[in-house]
Amino acid sequence: MSETEFQNQDEIPNLKDFIFERLLSEDIKAHRVFLLGKFKNDNENPAILKLEKTHFTKENLNNINSYLEKETILDHNDIYTWLTSNISGTFKDPQLRIQIIYPATLLHIKKYSEQPRVIINETPEQYKNVVVPYIESLPPERTAWVENILEGRQEADSLIFNDKDPETGFIIVPDSKWDRTLNTLYVQCIVRKRGIRSVRDLRRKHLPLLKKVYETAISLVPKVYSTETEKITADQLKIYFHYQPSYYHLHIHITHINVEGVGLYLRDVIDNITMDDEFYAKKTITYQLGKNHILYSLFEKAKEDYKRTLSDENKSEENQTKKAKLE
């Protein structure tokens, strides 16, 4: 599953035609880089390549030493030796996962560029005055790929669950980030009901949907992905929302407990809106935001506008006070 779909699936570009321009960002811990460039014969549209080293699958480790080549000793101390090595091309595990974003927009380039991050404490007022106008300004094409999946035009063969009820239905599909090893399990649930953009929109009327998602996830996902040699149990699943989400159509992340990162747990969300129908409408929500994100600039503008308004009000009060004294 991917946020970016090519306009025509017959036009998927050839990786050998990619012309590197610059490194956008790197994550050393995750062994991941984002590269900016273009494809031959298209000087107008930028492209982004995401390259990520893959995890080893257990089935292929028995004779891995026979695939190692070009070893270089980095250091040795007592019983410890550090080396680098290449893995032979005949090794069954792919060594890279690659995602192509093409044509990439300026928003994509900003999103995947190196950037400082800040903590945002988003109040309900900020959500109403800053975030909602931002969401409403986004073109429908940004979530066209979601509609393609929900309507069965793409990835139909990848679905592990498909409930077509317009109110409480949803699909569950493997996430594009998942490399298919159980310890990195990452699937995503996308609800069918349109108009629920994030947890901010959730109310008690959505509890049947949320409870169905939870019960389905903890029963179905272990059944689908456990094998005779490797098992995953319900208590090893993280089921949660991101806020801010990467796209504004309600979706839930379902991952192995070993996968880094978490957000608002679905179980907590269910309990919170059971207690208070408008819990997430009234709550100040804290999250990280990159300074390249448009929302950051909108929050900064709102701050400046507020300061300007206070300044104007103070000047007006001072003028009125002076006028009263003169009278």
CATH code for position 4: 3.30.200.40
The residue range of the domain holding 51 is 1-57+94-114
| Assigned domain for 323 exists | no
Q: What is the mean pLDDT of residues 96-103?
A: 89
Q: Name the token pair of 319.
A: 């003028």
Instruction: Tell me whether residue 145 is annotated as binding.
Output: yes
Pairwise CA distance, residues 266 & 223, whole Å: 20
Consult the annotation and say whether 122 binds a ligand. no
Write out pLDDT tens, residues 40-77.
989 999 999 999 888 777 777 888 888 888 888 888 88
Residue 9: is its pLDDT beyond 90?
Answer: no
> 4 pLDDT exceeds 60?
no
Do 167 and 47 share a structural domain?
no
Neighbours of 129 (CB within 10 A): 14
- Inside any domain, residue 37: yes
Q: Which residue has the tokens 């250091």?
A: 75
Q: What is the pLDDT of residue 57?
A: 75
**Does 178 score more than 90 pLDDT?**
no
196 is a domain residue: yes
Instruction: Based on the fold, state whether residues 155 and 209 are members of the same structural domain.
Output: yes
- Mean pLDDT across the chain: 89
Select from 40, 148, 156, 34 the least CA-distant residue to 97.
34
Asked if residue 143 and residue 46 are part of one domain, the reply reads: no
**Residue 243 marked in a binding site:** yes
What is residue 29's predicted lDDT score, i.e. its pLDDT?
80
Q: Is residue 300 part of a domain?
A: no
HSE value, Cβ hemisphere, 13 Å, CA-based, for 268: 10
Percent of the chain with pLDDT over 70: 92
Helix, strand, coil % (nearest 5) of the chain? 40, 30, 35
User: In the prediction, which pLDDT does 70 show?
Assistant: 85
The answer to whether residue 8 scores a pLDDT higher than 60 is no
- Which one of the listed residues 206, 251, 256, 293 is annotated catalytic? 251
Assess if residue 325 is contained within a domain: no
Do 178 and 259 sit in the same domain of this protein? yes
In a domain, 102, yes or no: yes
Average pLDDT for 205-213: 98
Domain identity same for 184 and 270: yes
Same domain, 125 and 52: no
Residue 252 is labelled as binding a ligand:
yes
155 is in an annotated binding site: yes
Q: Nearest 5 degrees, angle CA 110-CA 112-CA 114?
A: 85
**Do 187 and 217 fall into the same domain?**
yes
Q: How many structural domains are present in the chain?
A: 3
Assess if residue 20 is contained within a domain. yes
What's residue 315's pLDDT?
A: 64
Q: Is the separation of the CB atoms in 38 and 23 below 8 Å?
A: no
Report which residue type is found at 79.
I
Residues 23-34, mean pLDDT to the nearest whole number: 89
250 marked as part of a ligand binding site: yes
pLDDT given for residue 276 in this prediction: 98
Say which CATH number the domain at 143 has.
3.30.428.10
Q: Which residue has the higher pLDDT, 27 or 120?
A: 120
Q: How confident is the model at residue 314 (pLDDT cuts 50, 70, 90)?
A: low
Same-domain check for residues 78 and 110:
no
Question: Is 256 a known active-site residue?
Answer: no
Shared domain check, 274 and 128? yes
48 and 75, same domain (yes or no) = no
Residue 308 lies in a domain: no
Phi/psi for 227 (5° steps) reads -125, 180
Bridge pairing between strands 68-77 and 80-87: antiparallel
For the whole model, what pTM was predicted? 0.77
Say whether 246 counts as a known binding-site residue: yes
Consult the annotation and say whether 178 binds a ligand: no
What confidence tier does 7 reach under pLDDT thresholds 50, 70, 90? very low
186 in the same domain as 73: no
Are 39 and 125 in a shared domain? no
